[in-house]
Amino acid sequence: MHTVVVGTADVTASDVLAVARDDARVDLSAEAVAALAAAREIVDALAAKPDPVYGVSTGFGALATRHISPELRAQLQRNIVRSHAAGMGPRVEREVVRALMFLRLKTLCSGRTGVRPEVAQAMADVLNAGITPVVHEYGSLGCSGDLAPLSHCALTLMGEGEAEGPDGVVRPAGELLAAHGIRPVVLREKEGLALLNGTDGMLGMLVLALADLDLLYKSADVTAALSMEALLGTDKVLAPELHAIRPHPGQAASAANMLAVLDGSGLTGHHQDDAPRVQDAYSVRCAPQVAGAGRDTLAHARLVAERELAAAVDNPVVLPDGRVESNGNFHGAPVAYVLDFLAIAVADLASIAERRTDRLLDKNRSHGLPPFLADDAGVDSGLMIAQYTQAALVGELKRLAVPASADSIPSSAMQEDHVSMGWSAARKLRTAVDNLTRVVAVELYAAARAVELREGLTPAPATREVLKALREAGVGGPGPDRYLAPDLAAAETFVRDGRLVAAVERVTGPLR
């Protein structure tokens, strides 16, 4: 099994994916253990002083004005976890919970939070045991950290609440800890607060989305190329010299991908045949410009994620010179903005893909293809309602593109009077990514059928490889009407698990 070693810095997106999706083992480096111990000495020294220190010897949020006596501080830390574990709604996906736990562990190991080494080790033990705390959809405003989600995770460390075992069964957390030989953590000063005061949930979902969208943007380049081919369009608009004079790197990459897919096609360049046209429609001709802008948005979001992965988010934070200072680094605005930005790019990519699908199905614009790609139009409806489904998905994506980060609802008696809504931005982006996968799958399904209906013309070698792999995956080709949902589901899986891109790359080599 792959092992991720957590030090005081340098956790990567690949590490997050390995732990969240592949159940990689997590170990603490000796450097991290030493940093944890050194920071804890500072917190213990402050706890012994009579002066109040936020998070160590005071209440929290709007209750920070109360100085807490030493005999009540352990109860204070337990209480903040119990009271903040107030999420509601459906359970959050296992990979998201593992990502946010791992990212919180990363910050603990930075030596900036003041928790004891055994607290960090307990979190690593829970991850390694395959125990997943039950975290709910609602409860985070994306400021002061993803409080409720992280609190449900901290509750599991205490042996309280519910969690899912490696067998997928939800049981009391205490039972699961005992079954795996993990002792519940008894929290001390600062530790309850440190476990729940970070942007780890929204960051984890950003990292997961970036990985998914990297594959989806390549997939969308492939389906755009197949649609151009099926519509007998011209690939001259993909020439590198045209994209060099508008030097957006994402645009150049998308055009290069499409050109690679279409290399050797016998279908492109027939736009002057039976129904001559000087230019292809925008949805075909401008595919690299739209997908490329989305790719550049991904690059910006990746930069933000890398910065956040390098951060140690907590309040208060233990500084290298020994000071323990309050700060506002837990505010989720940097992450929330790019999560919303990605949702906008996703909606537009889906929108242009749907327009190409509609063009493939319209006999007045498809340049010789049968209505709705039907076998016997009138008797057969063909892919008419597949496009309806795609249009419904695009409509939902447009609604999901409304920014969550433009909203703010004051909380904690106006102490937390401006919040990021970053968790909400991340949750809707996950839905958007799923729906984009389905939109791309419908375009693939339609374009593949349309290419096969172009009798007498030979598609590109990469296209032929896609058609072969698609049919081997159980996705049916042209013919009379049949129960369509299973075909569309199989096409969705074919896109989601990377087989579409893999089929192309067997011919073209790696796409950009």
Which run of H or of E encompasses 297? Answer: helix 287-309
102 vs 326, more confident: 102
Note the pLDDT tens digit of each residue in 238-289.
999 999 999 999 999 999 999 999 999 999 988 777 667 778 999 999 999 9
Q: Please give the pLDDT value at position 143.
A: 87
Q: Which residues contact 17 (CB under 8 A, 6 or more apart)?
A: 207, 208, 211
Q: Please give the pLDDT value at position 318.
A: 92
Q: What is the gyration radius of the CA atoms in the chain, in angstroms?
A: 26
Flag whether pLDDT at 466 surpasses 90. yes
Q: How far apart are CA 193 and CA 78, in angstroms?
A: 9
Question: Which amino acid is residue 396, in one-letter code?
Answer: E
Flag whether pLDDT at 503 surpasses 90. yes
380: Cα separation from own chain's centroid: 39
- Residue 342: pLDDT band (50, 70, 90) is very high
Give the lowest-confidence range in 30-34, 277-281, 337-341, 490-494: 277-281
Integer angstrom CA distances of residue 50 from 43, 306, 321: 13, 40, 21
Integer angstrom CA distances of residue 226 from 136, 201, 209, 260: 41, 37, 25, 11
- The answer to whether 2 touches 22, Cβ cutoff 8 Å, is yes
Q: Please, what is the Cα angle at 116 between 113 and 120, to 5 degrees?
A: 80
Query: Can you tell me whether residue 284 is helix, strand or coil?
Result: helix
Q: Is the pTM of this model over 0.85?
A: yes
Q: How far apart are CA 475 and CA 483, in angstroms?
A: 12
Beta bridge partners of 317: 325
Q: How far apart are CA 125 and CA 83, in angstroms?
A: 24
Q: Please give the pLDDT value at position 188.
A: 93
Note the pLDDT tens digit of each residue in 214-244.
999 999 999 999 999 999 999 999 999 999 9
Q: 461-472 vs 249-262: helix axis angle to the nearest 10?
A: 80
Flag whether pLDDT at 417 surpasses 90. no
- Mean pLDDT (the chain, rounded): 95
Note the pLDDT tens digit of each residue in 299-324.
999 999 999 999 999 988 999 898 98
Task: Catalogue the active-site residues.
Answer: 54
